[in-house]
């Protein structure tokens, strides 16, 4: 899933000419938004939407969320988030390589999500 997400992130879209118009979010943590608690790995792409005059109106976020049983090894990871934005000084490959080397992957590699949610939200 991670490699597909990075490939999707490398595709550029016609977005506003602002630093946060096209971003990628990698985040995980244990949440109890619904009962019972779950450990969620959330891979999201954010696009800025401007109004007719070119001013910021809102963001659209596309999420692929993998939900796992909150076993002790996952709970021990705590919470983490990292953003990447196109049109900044950062490079997508460097960001992805840095996250790809995290200990997180060793822990989650042998676990299977109990649910996968793909959804869109407006923020």
pTM here is 0.89
The pLDDT, as a whole number, for residue 119 is 96
Measured distance CA(122)–CA(46) in Å, rounded: 9
Q: What is the pLDDT of residue 113?
A: 96
In the beta sheet, which residues pair with residue 62? 45, 120
> Closest by alpha carbon to 63, among 33, 24, 34, 6?
24
Using DSSP's 3-state secondary structure scheme, residue 108 falls into helix
What is the full per-residue pLDDT of the chain (123 aa) written as tens digits? 888 999 998 888 888 788 789 999 999 999 987 778 999 999 999 999 988 888 888 999 999 999 999 999 999 999 999 999 998 878 999 999 999 888 899 999 999 999 999 999 998
pLDDT of 91 reads 92
């Amino acid at each position: 899933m991670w490699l597909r997400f990075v490939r999707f992130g490398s595709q550029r879209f016609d977005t506003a000419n602002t630093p946060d118009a096209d971003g990628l979010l990698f985040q995980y943590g244990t949440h109890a938004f619904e009962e019972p608690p779950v450990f969620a790995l959330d891979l999201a792409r954010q696009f800025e939407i401007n109004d007719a005059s070119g001013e910021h109106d809102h963001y659209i976020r596309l999420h692929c969320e993998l939900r796992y049983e909150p076993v002790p090894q996952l709970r021990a990871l705590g919470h983490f988030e990292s953003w990447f934005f196109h049109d900044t000084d950062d490079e997508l490959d460097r960001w992805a390589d840095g996250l790809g080397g995290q200990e997180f992957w060793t822990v989650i590699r042998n676990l299977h999500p109990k649910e996968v949610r793909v959804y869109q939200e407006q923020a």
